[in-house]
Amino acid sequence: QIAEWRKLRDEPTVSADGKHVELAANIGTPNDVAGVIENGGEGVGLYRTEFLYMGRDKLPSEEVQYNAYRTVLENMNGKPVVVRTLDIGGDKELPYLDLPKEMNPFLGFRAIRLCLDRQDIFRTQLRALLRASVHGNLRIMFPMIATLAEFRAARDLLLEEKAKLKAEGQEVSDQIQLGIMVEIPSTAVLADQFAKEVDFFSIGTNDLIQYTMAADRMNERVSYLYQPYNPAILRLIKNVIDAAHAEGKWTGMCGEMAGDSTAIPLLLGLGLDEFSMSATSILPARSQISKLSAAEMKELAAKALQMGTAEEVAALVQRTAQ
């Protein structure tokens, strides 16, 4: 089996009936890029930049960030790299920011909420990204977007920094795609409106499931409610993908669900364009997809959307698509 996967390393990802999708990797540091290449990743679908900010005693400078982003872009050699701006808070804390303890950190002051408030932190990251953009195929993605106003505010800060850099004589790419994570139900529901303004969506199922089911993703006692195959989740995913396609945009997924062999047939059937997962899952996923018919998976997904429970959906997939 390993030998079969190896052969797929430099191949595109194509279903048995000829539908193309992209398999990308989630990374946390520039060192992870070697594993992406090694495993045949077609891009980076999620670069979690939190790690640049963690494990140190002060904020990373623009220069430190620029070097990290540039290294990833150069080593990916023109393949797309989706960099997610700072997503701190919730389970990820930064001691040196000295933020007050919250009763519900997963529902609190985190990610884009913090960045829009602490513009000094956000602008530094945006400048580093913009400067690095000329070294590869950069896509920028904002985390935890709950409203259009948040997206517009973040985009405007990006455009302001871009204009400033250009006025300073710095080169900045004009090809940067700008997208959002869809990991809050309000955004998944209102995807048609977002799709008019963003270049792409990436569905963050780790959080989307927790927020939709109201079940803390870290709490063992409610883990039975953490249900990727719940038809409610599948309907949200479908809504996002359809909304993007109606505007000629693409949708990826960078939560754990994207690399799950039970979810993959459903996601292929729902029309997901890009799957971003841990690097070691890429070749098994490419092999799995090469044996699936996208047309048949579309029918499978249509059936799943009409079911009432996650168990029924999982049983349907096991029976017909594995």
What is the binding site for Mg ion (CB under 5 A)? 183, 204, 207
Give the residue, chosen from 23, 30, 40, 48, that forms a contact with ligand PEP under the rule CB under 6 A: 48
Tell me the C-alpha distance between 260 and 267, whole Å: 10
Of ligand PEP, Mg ion, none, which one sits near residue 135, judging by CB under 5 to 8 A according to partner kind?
A: none
Give the residue, chosen from 204, 228, 231, 259, that forms a contact with ligand PEP under the rule CB under 6 A: 204
Provide the token pair at 207.
């959080």
255 binds ligand PEP (CB under 6 A): yes
179 binds ligand PEP (CB under 6 A): no
Q: Is 254 a catalytic residue?
A: yes
Least distance between Mg ion and beta carbon 206 (Å) = 5
Residue 182 — φ and ψ, nearest 5°? -105, 100
Residues making up the binding site for phosphoenolpyruvate:
48, 84, 206-207, 217
Residues with Cβ < 8 Å from 286, sequence gap 6 or more?
5, 8, 11, 13, 23, 40
Rank residues 215 and 295 by Cβ distance to ligand PEP and give the closer one: 215
**Would you state the torsion angle of the CA atoms of residues 269, 36, 290, 309, taken in this order, to the nearest 10 degrees?**
-30
244 Cα distance to chain centroid: 15
60 binds ligand PEP (CB under 6 A): no
Rank residues 183 and 273 by Cβ distance to Mg ion and give the closer one: 183
15 binds ligand PEP (CB under 6 A): no
Of Mg ion, ligand PEP, none, which one sits near residue 67, judging by CB under 5 to 8 A according to partner kind?
A: none
Token pair 């920028």: residue? 140
Find out whether 42 and 286 touch, Cβ atoms under 8 Å. no
207 binds ligand PEP (CB under 6 A): yes
What proportions of the chain, in percent to the nearest 5, are helix, strand and coil?
A: 55, 15, 30
**Identity of residue 71:** T
Q: Which of 71, 101, 68 is nearest to 86 (CA)?
A: 68
Least distance between ligand PEP and beta carbon 291 (Å) = 26
Judged by CB under 6 A, the stretch of 187-195, 199-207, 222-230, 238-246 that binds ligand PEP is 199-207
The one catalytic residue in 25, 233, 254, 321 is 254
**Would you state the torsion angle of the CA atoms of residues 183, 188, 191, 193, taken in this order, to the nearest 10 degrees?**
-90
Give the residue, chosen from 205, 230, 288, 293, that forms a contact with ligand PEP under the rule CB under 6 A: 205
Q: Is 92 helix (H, G, I), strand (E, B) or coil?
A: strand
183 binds ligand PEP (CB under 6 A): yes
- The helix (run of H) or strand (run of E) holding residue 179 is strand 177-182
Least distance between ligand PEP and beta carbon 98 (Å) = 22
Residues in contact with ligand PEP by CB under 6 A are 46, 48, 87, 183, 204-207, 254-255
Active site residues: 254
